[in-house]
Structure 1
């Protein structure tokens, strides 16, 4: 297998230009990667235009609506709905039912809100009107008084990367942790690293995977050991997704002894697998991945056993967090590749 790498520059226009170069000049047989939703949308579009399989590594932001997701799209990450519904369900059971949401005002946090709204109805929680920060957010201080005035039991947070780091630091600075439970809907170990030891102490956070799962699942340990030996650091959740998605496609192609686009996609639909956590399955109707979402709780600096020990895994939510096919406009009985 030859790996041809291009840098998308975290820019959808650059992602489009580089992808077209790979497709038209390098004549690649599979395109994989991206990190952000806007880049993902570009790759999803190109997959249909060029009739090529697209292995998506970030959260799946295209399967929530019929007519948006390309039938050649495949990925193993959570959808925004799964992340929000999982953490909303956990919060209703363990943290409180008076909710508020602060998010960066663009498509991904808006999709997270859909999950929270549905879970609030199901659990009897009250969800106040959201607080939106302009994207990309560099300072949340002007929005924190509105959050404090709402006096929620639980504050859900929808941001990622450097905005999440900024928010975490300002939440500590303004004493939000003492006033309410803070639930970050999707995080990564890299955010805790950037924020510093103990900043996420007491926060709850959702994730697709965390490195201490190596103590529970043999596949997670095997993946961890190989990754750590090569990089001298612990793998992130996104690293686990990149590994899982790539291996899933390779295993399926080897099993059916074909890389034919239609045959491979059909074989992936409904496929069950288990690599680095519990059993997973690609849902045929929309190519979402039915899987666990994990609940983390941040640790105080003095409780960290090493420089990677930012969180404890304290819970998980399974298939009940996924949005039904019919609610997205799909027919559960019809595989996406047949539409």
Structure 2
């Protein structure tokens, strides 16, 4: 363990060290889970997307070369805050992207406001980030728990699947997702018959799955994500919970389907913001990423590309790195890129765009590598996201 402690100390020292180009470079950072349960849904792939965005933008802004910082918060709030303070205070970072973990995200949201810097969430999905914890210094790019959970719950109840049991991640992300889903279930006339909380990075879901099976609920909602949802669905398959009970996975990514395989994942239904095989443009963009990472990108990672590009364009347009001016420029400019044809940044920080309800293909329908998803419906932005003010945020409502 000594070598690990030494390595960690060296890592912290590296992050804290003043950049040789601090006064000459324009500094932004990507912070996420690089090695844990959320590494596939964001991690090194998201860092690569940031590099692609910087390259495509031209590598400079405000006549300065763009310097990219990278760190792994290890899903620890205190470590994430420590890194963010170092980046804002010592490295001169103007914006931090991604974050992944909602607990870390909520903490950095407050810090960014105090430092008058920006934080842009590409894979942290708590709806509170643009709800009761909203900030003029925070922007949420990829979908939140409300968007991922509500449409799916409504669809299931329409199909007479109207009783629910939750297996929920035991931290801010899971609590937010379950709260949004429960609200949708109640309003649509369904019932929640029970639930359990699972710690992050759970290896054995057997006791939770037995409780869910014993509940006789028509739907088991896995309010978890990343490696946890892959492990849970694999074990649910071993327990043969389906088809007697429907397995609902509101927060699911292409990387999760890849980890599960179509034999296990087929017929899972969930919301997506982007898919690599939608059209010729998405396929060409995905191939660029594939050539670098030997895997197709998921919607979190492409959201990060979009957010970095839009942010840098706003800095250039504003002619300054001051947070308020850049945010105003981001809100004024439409988002028209590989991620969305018609996106906008709302005053509460919520980014709006059309989304897709998708279903995982059965193995027989998959014709080539990474041919995993089929579009069930396109959901207009006005329906895909929570209305302004509904989550308790007052920004832009006066």
TM-score, normalising length from structure 1?
A: 0.87
Q: 1:63 aligns with which of 129, 142, 149?
A: 129
- Aligned residue for 2:365? 303
- Aligned residue for 1:226? 288
Deviation at 1:41, TM superposition (A): 2.2
Indicate if the aligned counterparts of 2:105 and 2:121 stay in contact, CA closer than 8 A: yes
Gaps in structure 1 of 5+ consecutive residues? none
Deviates more, 1:250-259 or 1:105-114: 250-259
Indicate if the aligned counterparts of 1:198 and 1:299 stay in contact, CA closer than 8 A: no
Pairwise mapping of residues 67-216 of structure 1 onto structure 2 (< 5 A)? 68-94=133-159, 96-214=161-279
Indicate if the aligned counterparts of 2:168 and 2:197 stay in contact, CA closer than 8 A: yes
Deviates more, 1:288-297 or 1:157-166: 288-297
Cα distance between partner residues in 2 of 1:204 and 1:23: 40
Indicate how the Cα distance of structure 1 residues 303 and 333 shifts in structure 2: closer, same or farther if over 3 A, else same. closer
Cα distance between partner residues in 2 of 1:90 and 1:29: 41
Q: 1:45 aligns with which of 110, 122, 129?
A: 110
Q: 1:240 aligns with which of 302, 324, 327?
A: 302
Gaps in structure 2 of 5+ consecutive residues? 1-65
Indicate if the aligned counterparts of 1:274 and 1:280 stay in contact, CA closer than 8 A: yes
Secondary structure, counterpart of 1:84 in structure 2:
helix
Deviation at 1:333, TM superposition (A): 4.1
Deviation at 1:84, TM superposition (A): 0.8
Indicate if the aligned counterparts of 1:297 and 1:314 stay in contact, CA closer than 8 A: yes
Indicate how the Cα distance of structure 1 residues 291 and 100 shifts in structure 2: closer, same or farther if over 3 A, else same. farther
Indicate how the Cα distance of structure 1 residues 251 and 316 shifts in structure 2: closer, same or farther if over 3 A, else same. same
Cα distance between partner residues in 1 of 2:80 and 2:116: 18
Give the aligned CA root-mean-square deviation in angstroms: 2.5
Secondary structure, counterpart of 1:19 in structure 2:
helix
Cα distance between partner residues in 2 of 1:255 and 1:295: 35
Indicate how the Cα distance of structure 1 residues 194 and 204 shifts in structure 2: closer, same or farther if over 3 A, else same. same
Indicate if the aligned counterparts of 1:188 and 1:237 stay in contact, CA closer than 8 A: yes
Q: 1:19 aligns with which of 73, 78, 84?
A: 84
Cα distance between partner residues in 1 of 2:379 and 2:215: 28
TM-score, normalising length from structure 2?
A: 0.75
Deviates more, 1:112-121 or 1:172-181: 112-121
Secondary structure, counterpart of 2:255 in structure 1:
helix
Deviation at 1:37, TM superposition (A): 1.2
Deviates more, 1:245-254 or 1:300-309: 300-309
Deviation at 1:64, TM superposition (A): 4.7
Deviates more, 1:9-18 or 1:172-181: 9-18
Q: 1:324 aligns with which of 360, 384, 387?
A: 387
Q: How many residues end up aligned between the 2 structures?
A: 330
Secondary structure, counterpart of 2:213 in structure 1:
helix
Indicate if the aligned counterparts of 2:134 and 2:393 stay in contact, CA closer than 8 A: no
- Aligned residue for 1:277? 340
Deviates more, 1:20-29 or 1:49-58: 20-29
Deviates more, 1:154-163 or 1:271-280: 271-280
Cα distance between partner residues in 2 of 1:98 and 1:158: 15
Deviation at 1:108, TM superposition (A): 1.0
Cα distance between partner residues in 2 of 1:17 and 1:199: 40
Cα distance between partner residues in 1 of 2:314 and 2:369: 37
4+ long deviations beyond 4 Å: none
Deviation at 1:91, TM superposition (A): 2.1
CA deviations over 1:15-47 (Å, ceiling 9, x no partner): 222222222332222222322112212321221
